Every structure is written in structure tokens, then in C-alpha cells.
Chain A
Amino acid sequence: MEPQLYTIAVYTENRVSLLHQISMVFSRRCLNIDSMTVSACSIEGVHKFTITCFSTRTMLEHVVRQIEKRIDVIKAFLFTDEEIVYQEVALYKVPTASVVYTEIEDIVRGSGARVLEIHPNYTVFEKTGHTDEIMELFERLKPLGIKQFVRSGRIAVTRSSREMVDEYLLSREARSLMQN
């Protein structure tokens, strides 16, 4: 099976050391995490890790199971790009002087970028999109002399009409009521 970029979504309790517990499953197999974004999700007390990694499905299916095995991990899923809606954000800092002498309107219109700040010395653009779109703008701004550039990790939501984590937590709640 050919390696490709996959997205892994991990839902966890909000406890210390989860990052370490997740990352060690990758490092143990010498897998490089391509990007990782962590934040609270819509379910109270639940944190979501969105991870991208370039590898084979078999390998990452094992990884997902081993992540899910950690006690404080609620659920983990493996997705191809087709199964999710995903986005990244990037910031570009360029000298204001070079912006002034460029066809900047074309660039901004064409890329859908926004201007966040204009300072006599520098101007900051923001662009959301997929990696290739963000890098396309990077190439267009390059002649202006990019002073700083940063691209976030991927964030993603599923295209599925079922909310698997909600369903899982409901089933666990039902089990807990049965036990008590």
C-alpha cells in the first residue's frame, strides 16, 4: 500500500501528559508527525488533536488503535482527505515598502488573503486554505521579500452525518447508569 497523507483525529480528556502519550505512539514507530493542532472541542471537557501524518493506511490504523488504547483517550479516527473538510491558516510578513510598489491588489483578490496589519516597516497578510493554496500565495509574495512566514497545522471536521464521539459518549453514559 502506497503511503499518503492521512488525518488523525483524537478526542481526549483534558489532562496533562496526553500530548506525550499520543506523540510517543508515533515516535516509537519512527513516524514523523506532519502537523498537529490541539484545542478544546464542542463537547465540554473534551480536547481534540488533529494530526496529519504521511504513511500507509495499515501503519496508521495500528497507530490509531494504540492511541485509543491510552486510558484518557476517548476516541481516535483515521481519515483520508475525501472524508473531511479541512483548512489551515498562514501568516505572511513582508516589507511594506515592497508592497507599495507591487500589484498587490491582484494578489490579494486572486488569493482571497486578508491584510491584518500595516506598519511603516512591515505588512502582515493572512490566508486560510489548503496547503497548496497557502504555498501558492507564498510563491507570489516571495519576490516581495518575505520576512516571516508561518503555517498552522490542519484542522478538520468530518463529512459524515454521524457524530461518532457523541454517540460513543452517550453509549458510555448509558453503561455507567446501568452499572449504578
Chain B
Amino acid sequence: MKELLTGSEILIRSLIDNGTQCLFGYPGGQIMPVYDKLYDYSDRLRHYLARHEQGAIHAAEGYARATGRTGVVTATSGPGAMNLLTGLADALMDSTPVVAVTGQVGSSMLGKDAFQESDVISSVLPVTKWAVQVRRAEDIAPAVARAFYIANSGRPGPVVIDLARDAQVGTAEYEKLEAPFIRSYDSDPHPAEGALEETARLLNEAERPLILAGHGISISGAQDVLAAIVGKGEIPVACTMLGLSCIPSGHPQYVGMLGMHGNLGPNINTNRADVIVAVGMRFDDRVTGDLTKYAPDARIVHIDIDASEFDKMVKADVHVHCDARKALEAILPMLDEADRREWRESFDRHREVEEERVMARELAVAAPGGKMLMGGVVRKVCEAFDDNAVIVTDVGQNQMFAVKYSRFNLPDSLISSGGLGTMGYGLPAAIGAKIGVPHRDVVLFVGDGGLQMTIEELGMIMEYGIDVKIVLLNNNFLGNVRQWQHLFFNGRFSSTPMTNPDFKMLAAAYGIAGADVADASALDAAIAEMRKCPGAYLLNVNIDETDMVFPMTPGGNGVDEILLDESQYYKPR
């Protein structure tokens, strides 16, 4: 049945009809008609007030990553919209479904440098999957239906609806719309004939196959099929950073993380594999290292829903252009059972070296003088949550140690800014994640630099009582840059030491419980205390600033040219 409604109400009804339960945002002049109407719908559509639009969009991203549903964010025109740009770019890089609704000045004022006017569409096009400006109330419902369909189909991504004031205050008839058919956009492509059969044939004939599992596994919900495939064919599987938790860390075929700070086994054996099947990943430069030295002996199959990823970085022998789950489901029955124990065990030999030469050092917890090491702290915290928590990270050393030493029993358990590497992502993303999956523990690992980039979002935690456990790996340094300065810039620590506030006191100002852990001897008790605390908690851990992340494949190196510490390369037998 059609009803005559204002554009603002149509927007809200459309959001609800497209499955939105909550949104993150910040009001302002040109989005006020929408906020006025939100007041009437507060029982059906919960609005979380961020303290900065960047916080709002990262929260929407965290929500989307934790739930698979589209995150929704609202902001006003001009500065409000511009503050979303970082989050939009982040969501585009990491295939995160987000719909951003921005207010815009009235259409008669467009292009005339009106107060708080900015050219939103031109600004956001390079960082969105799709963007549209709406100037009439009757165009809102179709735009929203289209936006949600585009944001969360195919390869997900961010979409912007720029809503001119006329559209918000005008009236139109409203009825619920289904996802539209878009002839120029195929969200569910079929692979070329024979591509799936060729993939199965290559896997069946391979002696040393390796599956690279990316974010696409989680997005398409292919975790169980992946586990079935690697089990049936005894095929080792390695994850990209965003692929982590798509297979349980304890799975017998799981061999670790790829990339610059990944595990030795999968990186070394990338160059020993005879067949590589990459699923829902894009051969990021942090994964491949020097492309001319990448996987020289392997036939490569690339399975991806985004055709523009094929041959962009790594030339593949077979392209499988479709949804990851559909591809793996089709391959599974064609796959032969096989015994590849010897190949699988070759990863363990690298693992043993890594445990002895790297992990033993990084997991030690205590550094000289009572300060602590990040790896050990991460492992202890994760264990305290039985390896079942959703792990959210910021960017930098905290992130690398978090992804290296977290273990994952459950899927959809790692939320991190991978492609864009956005410092300040962690805190708001953790808040959004907790709102999305309130039944799960959410633990944030964050550094003192990144926390201060969006620290204002402690306000969201305070206002809405969000139970996020914040583990602040505090070394009073921008640690990752410090590491590179130490290794490659003669130890000239240019603008990386930081004079920090009293974080516990800051948390207390927001009504958030917390503790300082100055000495390693107090860590276990402090973690237990945090675990027991019913609400949000900030654990300020005194980290040794000389702590560095290894193994490491420095830029320009091949994927198998790996530093075990600052001076020694790994020489596999």
C-alpha cells in the first residue's frame, strides 16, 4: 500500500525495510529533517551518536564485518561528509558493506559554495562502489533499495547517498521496494565454462597444492566448504590477514598466515607449491612481496567475484569468476581424496624453526626491566577469552602481534583494517562489532598512537554502555614506524616518541573501568580482572618500545626472503 510521506520519513522507512536495525551518525544542519524523523522511529531504528563522523563510519564498518549485514552511517553535508572519506576508502579496500547517507544543501544552492556545501559525489567516487545524489523525495526509496543491493552483493563495498535538502522535506508516495535488477552490474557471475573442472583437475594432479584463503571466504560464508575441501584433499590452507578465522586455527590443514609478517611455512612454501588456488583474495603486495620472485613453480588458480582482480598483481593460469562459496561447492565433489602428509608436514618443519627462533622470544611476555612484549600479552588475553572472542585491532605493531598470536575457534572473529591500514579504526570498529554481536566478547588490541586518533569514541562506550575490552599495548611510541626507523633509517626516531596522557584516568573520565599494568608480574591478575568486569575496560599495558615484529619480509624481498630477527635471514633446509 502506498502512503504519502516526507522524504525524511521515506528514507527511514526504506532503511528499516532494507533490514537496518541501527545506524551510526552525527547530526548537522543539512540532515536535520532526517534526524527529526529519527526521533519518531527511535523504537525501531536505534541511532548511535558518535563523537566524530570518522568514528561513526568505522563503527558501521565494525558492525558490518561482525554481522555480515550492511552498516549504515549518517552525516551532515560539507565537513560531515568529508569526515567520512577515510572510512569509505577503508570499506572499499576491505570489501565492507556500508551505506552512508549524507545531507546536502538544497538543490538550488548546489554548486554555489553554499554554507557547508561540498561536492560530495565527486569527492567520494574514487572511494565508493557507487554513489548517487538524490534531489527529489520520490527518488529516495529506489536509491536506498539500489544502494543496499550494491553495497552487500557481489564484492561488497561502500555506497553513498547524498540527500539534498529538497528531497528530505519534499513528499512522495512510499511503498517497500525489492532489490532492483541492474543490467550493468552482475552481482552473481558464472565462471567461464571448464574453469571449475580445470581447477579440480589441477588440484587432483598436484603434489604440493596450497590454498590461499582470503576475506572472500568469510563474505560468502564458505568456511564449512573450505574445511571440507582441505580435509578431503589433505590440502594445506593459509589465510591472508582478513581471511583469518575463516578456518579454525587448530584445523589440521591450517598452516598459518601469509604476508610480510606472516608465518614461515606458508610464505616459504608459496615458492615450493606446484598448484596455488587463491580464493577471495587479491594478491596484495604485503602478501606477495616481489612479484618477480613469487610462486615460480606454481600453476595458479584465482577464484574471485571481482574480475578486475584477475592478473592485476599475479598472472593466473585459471580465472574462476564467481562467488567463493559457489566455486568451492562445485569443486568439492570433483576433488579426489588424497594423502599429502609429506607436503603438509613440510610446513611443520618451518613452524618448528619459527617457534624456536621467533615465537619463543615474542611470547616471553616479560622484557628486561619489567616491561612487556606485545605477542605474549596478546596470547594471554586471547586465552583468557578461551580463543572465542571477536578480535578487533588497530593498525601497526599492535595489529601484527594481534593477528599473529590470536587463535580463532569461531568464524568472523577478526576485524582489522587490512587494505587501507587506517590508524584509529580499532576503537570505533570494536564498538560497532559489539553492537552487532552483543552475545560475543569483543577484545580490541590498540596502540597508544591509534587509540588517540579516535579516542573521542570512548564517549560512545560511555553513553551506550558498550562492553568492549580495550587492551592498550602502550609503548609511548609509534611502534611500527619506530621498527622501520630502527631497521632501515639508522635508528633515527623522527617524530615517533610520544608523550602520552594518563590513559586510565582518561578512561575513568568516561566512566570506563581500567588498570595500569606496569610490570609483567601483574599481568595475569589484571587480565583476569578485566575478564570479570561486566562492562567496558581499558587495560593499559606497559610495553617495551624495542619490541619488534618478526618474521619480516622487508619490502622488495621475495616472499621467501624472510628476516627472523633484525640481522638473520631464514635459511630453510
Binding site for B on A (CB under 8 A): 12-13, 16-17, 20-21, 24, 28, 61-62, 65-66, 68-69, 71-74, 169, 172-173, 175-176, 179-180
Contact = CB atoms under 8 A, between A and B. Distances in A.
B311 to A, nearest CB: 7
Contact of B183 (A28, A61, A65, A169): A169
Interface in B126-141: 126, 129-131, 133
A71 B125 contact: no
Nearest to A74: B184
A68 B307 contact: yes
Contact of A71 (B121, B133, B150, B306): B150
A17 B311 contact: no
Contacts of B312: 62, 65
Contacts of B383: none
B122 A17 contact: yes
B307 A20 contact: no
Interface string B166-187: 0000000000000001111110
Interface residues of B, number: 21
Given A17-B125, A17-B131, A69 B308 contact: yes
A21 B121 CA distance: 10
B308 A66 contact: yes
Nearest to A172: B183
Contact of B182 (A61, A62, A71): A71
Nearest to A17: B121
B310 A65 contact: yes
Contacts of B185: 71-72
Contacts of B306: 69
Interface string B100-133: 0000000000000000000001100110011101
A73 B186 CA distance: 11
Contacts of B311: 61-62
Contacts, number: 49
Interface centre among B125, B185, B186, by most chain A C-beta atoms within 10 angstroms, is: B185
Interface centre among A12, A72, A173, by most chain B C-beta atoms within 10 angstroms, is: A72
B184 A73 contact: yes
Given A17-B121, A24-B126, A71-B150, A65 B184 contact: no
B127 to A, nearest CB: 10
Interface in B59-107: none
Contacts of B122: 17, 20
Contacts of B129: 71
A13 to B, nearest CB: 6
Nearest to B184: A74
B181 A65 contact: no
Contacts of A180: 181
A74 B183 contact: yes
Contacts of A71: 129-130, 150, 182, 184-185
B545 to A, nearest CB: 37
12 contacts: A16-B133, A17-B122, A20-B122, A20-B125, A61-B311, A69-B306, A69-B308, A71-B184, A72-B130, A74-B183, A173-B183, A176-B183
Contact of A72 (B126, B181, B184, B308): B184
Contacts of A72: 130, 184-185
A24 B184 contact: no
A171 to B, nearest CB: 9
A40 to B, nearest CB: 16
Nearest to B133: A16
Nearest to A176: B181
Contact of B125 (A21, A73, A172, A175): A21
A69 B311 CA distance: 15
A28 B89 CA distance: 14
A62 B133 CA distance: 28
B308 A62 contact: yes
B307 A65 contact: yes
B173 to A, nearest CB: 23
B184 A13 contact: yes
A168 B126 CA distance: 26
A176 B133 CA distance: 26
A101 B131 CA distance: 59
Contacts of A66: 308
A68 B308 contact: yes
A65 B308 contact: yes
Nearest to B146: A71
Contacts of B310: 65
A175 B183 CA distance: 9
A175 B129 CA distance: 22
Interface string B300-318: 0000001110111000000
A172 B185 CA distance: 9
A24 B126 CA distance: 7
Interface centre among B129, B184, B306, B311, by most chain A C-beta atoms within 10 angstroms, is: B184
A3 B185 CA distance: 31
A28 B312 CA distance: 15
Nearest to A75: B184
Nearest to B130: A71
Contacts of A21: 125
A16 to B, nearest CB: 8
Contacts of A28: 126
A16 B150 CA distance: 18
Contacts of A17: 121-122, 125, 131
A69 B306 CA distance: 8
Contacts of A24: 125-126
A12 B307 contact: no
Nearest to B313: A62
A16 B132 CA distance: 9
Contacts of B181: 176, 179-180
Contacts of B307: 65, 68-69
A73 B308 CA distance: 13
Contacts of A65: 307-308, 310, 312
B129 to A, nearest CB: 7
B179 to A, nearest CB: 10
